[in-house]
Amino acid sequence: MPPRRSALVPGGAAALAGIACLAAAGFLLEEGARTLGAWVWLPYALAVAALACFVLAGIQGRHAKSRVAARPVTRSGLRPTLILFHVGLVAFGALLGFGAYLLHQRNTGPHAAVTVTHCEVIDPGPRPSSAPHEYCRGDWTLDGRTYVDKTVQGADLADEGHVIDATVHGDTAYSRDLQTPLILLGVFGTATLLALGGCVTAWRRWWRAPRA
């Protein structure tokens, strides 16, 4: 009896792990050396790990082709592959949607000159692997109404005491820095397309495979 696990699972898992490492490296690089401190090497280690995962995925893909050619594929054998690609599609699609939302918030809406009054660095705790987060607040005037001590999303300590251009949605101002949403769209847009392609391919093989 052929093994139940699909030959595509190891390669698919390695590819998804590589995408996750690449995304984490991009986020950490966006944070910068100032917030990473002694862990400034971590983004580059993650980038190397992502490259290793992609190489492993390629090797596993070649092995999968030979294994598929050597034995018939059943629906039960394809089930783990379908689950893997659907989980990746949902997760990466959600992050892609968040990137699109953040781009919309930062690139649309009325503009205002926002004075960043103060920023606070929140330490996540004793875990050295967690980078601190910055929360900034500021003042601005829009349409004759003055907003005092409101959230300024996307600002950092370097903006404290300065006036920045921002878009306003409700009581929140969004900096015009588009680096983070573009990283989200680029990385997770590619990941979503790959996961979608994997889902389509797996479903085609599912319908062609015997039920046993």
CA 55 to chain centre: 21
* Residue segments in the chain with a per-residue pLDDT below the cut of 70: 1-16, 22-44, 47, 54, 57-73, 123-132, 211-212
Q: Are 56 and 64 in contact (CB under 8 A)?
A: no
C-alpha to C-alpha distances, 159 to 6, 50, 117, 120, nearest whole angstrom: 52, 33, 9, 12
Instruction: Find, among 6, 11, 146, 137, the residue nearest to 72 by Cα.
Output: 6
Full residue range of the structural domain in which residue 79 is found = 9-106+180-208
Phi, psi at 155, each rounded to 5°:
-85, 160
Residues with Cβ within 8 Å of 178's Cβ and at least 6 positions away in sequence, in order, are 103, 106, 107
Are 101 and 126 within one domain?
A: no
Are 100 and 184 within one domain?
A: yes
Instruction: Find, among 168, 182, 179, 180, the residue nearest to 108 by Cα.
Output: 168
Q: What is the pLDDT of residue 29?
A: 58
153 part of a folded domain: yes
Are 84 and 187 within one domain?
A: yes
Whether the pTM exceeds 0.75: the reply is: no
- 178 token code pair: 């588009």
Q: What is the pLDDT of residue 72?
A: 63
Q: What is the pLDDT of residues 25-80, one digit of tens each?
A: 666 655 554 455 555 566 667 767 777 776 776 666 666 656 555 556 677 777 88
Are 16 and 68 within one domain?
A: yes
Q: What is the pLDDT of residue 4?
A: 43
* Number of domains the chain contains: 2
8-state DSSP, 121: E
